[in-house]
Chain A
Amino acid sequence: MNVPRRLRLLVPQLSAVAIVAGAVAFAFKVTSPTSQVEAEREAASPAVVARKPLPFTVQARLPQLEEHGTFPCKECHDESLPTDPKERAMPEDHGDIDLKHGGGRFWCLTCHDADNRDVLRGLKGQPIAFDEQFLLCGQCHFRRQRDFLFGAHGKRIGSWQGERVLAPCTSCHDAHDPSIKPRKPYRADRLREGLRTERRTHAPLIETPSQGSPDEQR
């Protein structure tokens, strides 16, 4: 070999450095908390995927409000009508609204923006469009909002796959009185012949115990 002597002397030192560097690199890869392999495995795990809500759009609410004749609010609430922040009854202007939401804690301007009536107003004073009202409701009803985002509350419209369109909160709930009211059900299933008491010509073959007596149950 005609390698210069000076270089030949360096060979053991160079190989030692290389071995140490390789060991460090290997240790770093093994103990690194976010190694590539693990990140990939995590992304593929179903539980992790399911925790991200599917992208969605909320059905527009403004067309309904426009049809109802209450939008745009600025048609009345313009410069000529100064804002009166005082809590009071308004039978002549908004007589159809019976504010029960919040049990007396709220007033119109809690949710409606005093300066721009065409939008709602969040807790930080941020404007929220009527079409994105779930952002406003979710400030207090955050558990419902989580269910809403993931699909356990509210209602999907149209299709179970593809584009996810959700019904806005106020399509089911009256924002000023949100609880769902009792109402008449669709007619009952028709009793089968023989079960109808008025048509029975004889006593029933099997007596069913009355609902009221707890002693007879089981």
Chain B
Amino acid sequence: MSSGDGPRVSRRGVLKVLGAACGTAAATACAPGYSEWLQRFFQEHYQRMTPEEVKDALARMEREYQQQLGVEVRVKDSKPIPGVRFGYALNISKCKGYRECVRACIEENNLSRDPELAYIRVLEMDNGTLDLERSDHYYEHETVPQPGKFYLPVSCMQCDNAPCVKACPVKATWAEPDGVVVVDYDWCIGCRACQAACPYGARHFNWGTPTLPPKGIQTDTHVLGNRPRPRGVVEKCTFCLHRTREGRLPACHEACPTGARVFGNLLDPASEIRWVLEHKTVFRLKEGLKTEPKFWYYSD
């Protein structure tokens, strides 16, 4: 094409259009909605944020939840209590497989109802075996416990030597000083490497946008815990850190109708969990993998 034929585009014209476009972009970026989007996009890793940045981010999350869910959700940032390391013990001779812990966990931790997730899986196994491959957590009996079966609830073990933490390519998951392995949902890229690395099946991926019942949203939330998650991130049990860091018991403990669960501070020699570990025959799942779980099972 010769230069004289087509419409002439002058340098001045191009610059004008470019300048106008940049101006419009800058103006829109300053508009309230877009600036929030930009802030969210450039949000730092949780551990690298200054306290002021965390405060701003939490306030922004609360505004977003108000907008999306129509509910006033409080997002906390409670820190680990010094000198506390959480441990959990479960009496399998007391567990009857009622799944009340599953129900309480789903409601407390704002787990998606559709597609459905559950942090706790109650495995049903034949008495005298401990073959996880042959366990069934889809059991649907009229009544439990069924004769000849026992029940073993499995959730995140909060391993001291957690394979999921090592597997994360972007360091979006880490162990907090109180031993709880947490996920920065805004830093997670959804690659699911941690899910593949976890030998306990404790990590769950949000394939779809989580749906929550409008009236059943838990509004007391933690930034690393049970705040409503976006689509495409991995989530897991956090020992209900929004409750336990304030001294309360986890929701599954509170819901257990048989008192099978014992929760406490492993560093406190007088605590109940320490007594259980010292006086009962305890075991942990897949101990040979050296993941050092902080979840013990015992029977009596």
Q: Which residues of B are found within 8 Å of A49, using beta-carbon distances?
A: 269-270
* Binary interface encoding of chain A residues 155-174 relative to chain B, with 1 for a CB under 8 A from any of its CBs, else 0: 11111111000010000100
Contact of A211 with B by CB under 8 A: yes
- Smallest Cβ-Cβ distance to B104: which chain A residue: A186
Residue B138 interfacial (CB < 8 Å) = yes
Asked whether B142 is an interface residue with its Cβ less than 8 Å from the other chain, the reply is yes
User: Residues on B close to A: CB < 8 A?
Assistant: 91, 96-100, 102-103, 116, 118, 121, 134, 137-145, 244, 247-249, 253-254, 256-259, 262-265, 269-276, 278-280, 298, 300
| Number of interface residues, chain A, beta carbon within 8 A | 35
Minimal Cβ-Cβ distance residue in B for A182 = B143
Query: Are B91 and A50 within 8 A (Cβ)?
Result: no
| Interface pair A185/B275, CB less than 8 Å apart | no
In A145-161, the 8 Å CB interface with B consists of 147, 150-161
A residues 177-215 touching B (CB-CB < 8 Å): 180, 182-191, 211
The count of A-to-B residue pairs whose CB atoms sit within 8 angstroms is 109
CA gap between A162 and B275 in the complex, in Å: 17
Distance A180 CA – B272 CA, assembled complex (angstroms): 24
Given the known interface contacts A50-B274, A172-B259, A183-B98, the answer about A152 and B280 at a Cβ–Cβ threshold of 8 Å is: yes
CB distance from A60 to the nearest CB of B (A): 18
Are A189 and B137 within 8 A (Cβ)?
Answer: yes
Q: Is A8 an interface residue (CB 8 A)?
A: no
**The residue from A50, A153, A189 contacting B118, defined by CB atoms under 8 A apart:** A189
State whether A150 touches B272 (Cβ < 8 A).
yes
Enumerate chain A residues within 8 angstroms of B91, measured Cβ to Cβ: 152-153
Is A160 within 8 A of B248, CB to CB? yes
A65 part of interface (Cβ distance < 8 Å): no
- Residues of chain B with a CB closer than 8 A to A186's CB: 98-100, 102-103
Whether B270 contacts A52 by the Cβ 8 Å rule is yes
Distance of B203 from chain A, by nearest CB (Å): 15
B80 to chain A, nearest CB (A): 13
Q: A160-B248, A186-B98 are in contact. List 19 more A-B contacts (CB 8 A).
A: A47-B269, A50-B269, A50-B278, A52-B270, A54-B272, A151-B273, A151-B276, A152-B91, A152-B272, A152-B275, A156-B249, A156-B272, A157-B249, A160-B271, A167-B259, A186-B100, A188-B138, A189-B118, A211-B134
Question: CA separation between A52 and B265, bound complex, in Å?
Answer: 17
